[in-house]
Structure 1
Amino acid sequence: MEIHNYHPLTGEFFCNGLADWNPLQPEEPIVPGYATPTAPPAAGARRVALYLDAAGRPPQNWPDGAWTLVPDYRAVPLFRTTDGSPFVLGQEYTGLGDLPAFLTDEPRPSAAHKWVNEEWALDEALEVAQLAAAARAKRDARLADADRLIEPLMDGFVLQELDEASTLRLKALSQYRKALRAVPDQAGFPRAVVWPVPPA
């Protein structure tokens, strides 16, 4: 008689075999532990057949259980719903069975999305705050670059030692810095920023 062996920890089918011969009752072969004469059902995509008892554990003796189709996420990237970080299968969740509430197989579209009602939803206020922070950081970096260019010119200006070309460059850099400081005041800030062009 053909038997179907299942894993003692997960209940997952892993191979076929033959029942042992029963010398006392040859018409009733012996089915060893963690095996069943019942064939597993076809699983389909993202499903796996597990042989489980009423408590959801693989029974050692086959009459105490039955095949059950459960979701299989072991080959699917999973993410935490709290922050969208990748999840590694382990004791918290093995990948077999329904996804726990703290996991999803949908990647987080952006850092401005939050998990709401079982889906990622854009938090527009958070998105604006993140865009504004990124734009200010970019503006500050450009201001620092401009400051480094202006610093040597300022000494010459204070000492009245600048030639005409250097004076014009100092004015252009100063106008550039002024425009950079005004970036947050633009009507489209922070979604549509028109960046000032640095002087040549």
Structure 2
Amino acid sequence: MTYYINKNTSVLLSLADDGSEDSFITEGFRLATRKQVDEFLDAANSLTPEQALSEALTQRDSLLATAGLRISPLQDAVDDETATAADIAKLKEWKQYRGAVNRVPDQPNFPKVINWPAPPN
């Protein structure tokens, strides 16, 4: 795992080393040192259950919004019969991703431990 931290938003990303999840690295994120990761996790463990739930649901909602933005034009192409085979395949991938993100709260130990699904490439 490679860790990225955004000190402005207090978000720590744990991403696969193979680069398949690099689309999560947005403005403000920097490669985190081991010390930063440990400090972040210590602070995160001190959140109240309500705070942890609120933060997790906010992240989930952000990921769902992003998925919706990717799905909408692909669905439009399907609806107006201009979609290519690649569009249809990508639409299916994004819909599956959106469903997986939506089911994150069903994971064991949520919101203390969260396994975020990787977005489509």
TM normalised by structure 1 equals: 0.37
2:75 matches 1:146: no
In the TM superposition, what is the alpha-carbon distance from 1:166 to its structure 2 partner? Answer: 0.7
Letter in 2 for 1:184: P
2:101 is the counterpart of 1:173: no
Query: Where do 5+ consecutive residues of structure 1 fail to align?
Result: 1-108, 113-121
Deviation at 1:181, TM superposition (A): 0.6
CA distance in 1, matches of 2:113, 2:120: 22
Give per-residue Cα distances to partners, 1:67-126, cap 9 Å, x unaligned. Answer: xxxxxxxxxxxxxxxxxxxxxxxxxxxxxxxxxxxxxxxxxx9699xxxxxxxxx6xxx7
What SS class does the counterpart of residue 99 from structure 2 fall into? helix
CA 1:157/1:135 → structure 2, altered by over 3 Å: closer, same or farther? same
- Determine which structure has the larger helix proportion and give its number: 2
Q: Which amino acid aligns with 1:127?
A: T
Distance 1:135 1:146 in 2: 17
Q: Evaluate the alpha carbon distance shift between residue 183 and residue 160 of structure 1 in structure 2; reply closer, same or farther with a 3 A threshold.
A: same
Deviating above 4 A after TM superposition, structure 1's stretches of 4 or more consecutive aligned residues are: 109-112
Distance 2:76 2:112 in 1: 38
Q: What letter is aligned with 2:70? A: L
What amino acid does structure 2 have at the position aligned with 1:176? Answer: Y
Aligned residue number for residue 103 of structure 2: 182
Counterpart among 41, 46, 57 of residue 136 in structure 1: 57
**Letter of the 1:161 counterpart:** T
- The alignment's TM-score, normalised by the length of structure 2, stands at 0.60
Task: Calculate the aligned-residue CA RMSD, in Å.
Answer: 2.1
Distance, in Å, in 1 between the alignment partners of 2:44 and 2:89 is 43
**Rg larger in 1 or in 2?**
1
